[in-house]
Amino acid sequence: MSNKLMPQEQYEKLVEECLCAIKTNHIVFKNYIPAFVGVSRSTLHKFGILYDERILTALKDLRILVKLNSIQKWVKSDNATLNIAAFRLMATPEELEKLTLNHQKNTGAIEHDHRHEHTVSFSDLMAECRRIRHETRKQ
């Protein structure tokens, strides 16, 4: 895809420079390309180089590779938080439902939740704990 204002040879050379910069510097955002090729962003934009399918594909492929590497590191990590994050990315909806503690299924029916009929507020619970602690100290 060449622009009328830029000769095809020059266009192809700039595209190749951009592709080389993407691969060697692990660029994943097209706005970072100008810093590595020595051409202004407006020039690359004006001639459509930043929107060339080869550039967009190279950026997308590198992003996928970075994501895969990150997920592999998370799976192999000793950090449980990273393990769970990786699992969440790969989990089926049923597995995610089992992982999520506050998951609520909407059936459309209004049901009374009997679990909350005998609940105690946190402040009442803390007061009861203080009372028990005070009685224990007296003994």
What would the 3-class secondary structure string for 60-90 be? Answer: HHHHHHHHHHHHHHHHHCCCHHHHHHHHHHH
- Written as tens digits, the pLDDT of the chain (139 aa) is 545 578 999 999 999 999 999 999 999 999 999 999 999 999 999 999 999 999 999 999 999 999 999 999 999 999 988 988 888 888 888 888 877 766 566 666 666 555 555 555 656 666 666 676 667 666 6
Q: How far apart are CA 76 and CA 86, in angstroms?
A: 10
